[in-house]
Amino acid sequence: MVLSDCVVPAIASALKKSDGFEPAVGIVLGSGLGKLTTHIESPVEIPYESIPGFPRTTVAGHKGRMILGRIADKKVVVMDGRFHYYEGHPASVTALPARLMAAMGVSVIMLSNAAGGINPDFTPGDIMMIKDHISFIPNPLIGPNDDTLGPRFPSLTDAYSPRLRAVAAASASKLGIALKEGVYVAVTGPSYETSAEVRFYRTIGGDAVGMSTTPEVIAARHQGVEVFAASLITNVNTPDAPKGPSHEEVLEVGNASAEKLSLLFANMIASL
């Protein structure tokens, strides 16, 4: 088997559960960003535990359900809960949400995450659309390539669709949301960054740091799916600060500002 032993059966069983539903847009929700689910019309919820072969999410703030429905009259599939490398999943499993949505036929995948700001101009509650990434998480394409899915050596130039970033900028200005833009540094976690690492990530051009998203982006681009991703800045990392972030703080700021990000996603979907 080309993809990890668990990915192919999990996708097959999820497809069976989704019963021929053909979404146009796939959405992955990060820590504390579940509020977008309130924008879904006629939702059908499929808990991950009801999908044979599907891994479980083990992180507080990640629900573990797939939701099928409509936003702004477009058919969507939402993955409320993702799989992180730090949970012990192989890299190919961390890309499962993107693989599943691509198998369902979406042409656009929108991802959200909670991230720590490393750009000193950022403040908690900011939304940063991702224009590029630097990934320290192992690449989900490592292993034999399935040529039916995509090329052995896919390009990641323009991984974050300029077209969708323009749609986001237009939606944000319509909604009066200040939208930052920057480079996302993906790390394995689960420990937060040392002061030296924060300095390093700033030096190499990072604006925010988080523990997810890039494996899903890489798999989506491997399959030719257009990608948009945005980070909710839940905390700001300053070298030599007396105290680092906590998961509780990340969830709290995530919950307080998630509506802004949900409105942005919903408005973007309406204009696709």
- Environment class of residue 242 by beta-carbon count within 10 Å: exposed (0-12), middle (13-18) or buried (19+)? exposed
**Residue 232: CB minimum distance to ligand HPA, A:** 9
* In the complex, residue closest to ligand HPA by CB: 116
Whichever of 92 and 237 has its CB closer to ligand HPA, that residue is 237
Element (H, E) at 71: strand 65-71
Q: Which of 71, 76, 130, 209 binds ligand HPA (CB under 6 A)?
A: 209
For residue 240 the two structure tokens come to: 């030599």
d(CA 183, CA 239): 18
- Separation of alpha carbons 182 and 179, rounded Å: 10
Number of residues that bind ligand HPA (CB under 6 A): 14
Catalytic position from the list 4, 12, 45, 86:
86
Q: Give the nearer residue to ligand HPA in terms of CB position, either 7 or 111.
A: 111
Give me the least distance between CB of 189 and ligand HPA, in Å please.
6
CB of 126 to ligand HPA, least distance (A): 12
Strand 25-29 to 74-80 pairing? parallel
* Bond into 215 cis (ω within 30): no
Q: Is 192 in the site for ligand HPA (CB under 6 A)?
A: yes
- Minimum Å gap between C-beta 128 and ligand HPA is 12
Residue 229 interacts with ligand HPA (CB under 6 A)? no
Residues 6-65, interacting with ligand HPA (CB under 6 A): none
Catalytic: 211?
Answer: yes
CB 78 within 8 A of CB 196: no
Here's the x/- map for ligand HPA, 234-253, by CB under 6 A: it reads as xx-x-------x----x---
Which one is catalytic: 91, 114, 128, 186? 114
Sign of CA dihedral 59, 108, 187, 32: negative
Site for ligand HPA in 96-155 (CB under 6 A): 114-116
Per CB under 6 A, 213 contacts ligand HPA:
no
Give the shortest CB-114-to-ligand HPA separation in angstroms: 4
Burial class (CB in 10 A: 0-12, 13-18, 19+), 45: middle
CB 129 within 8 A of CB 165: yes
Residues in the chain: 272
Q: Are 217 and 161 in contact (CB under 8 A)?
A: no
Site for ligand HPA, rule CB under 6 A:
114-116, 189, 192-193, 209-211, 234-235, 237, 245, 250
Q: What residues are labeled active site?
A: 31, 62, 84, 86-87, 114, 211-212, 235, 247
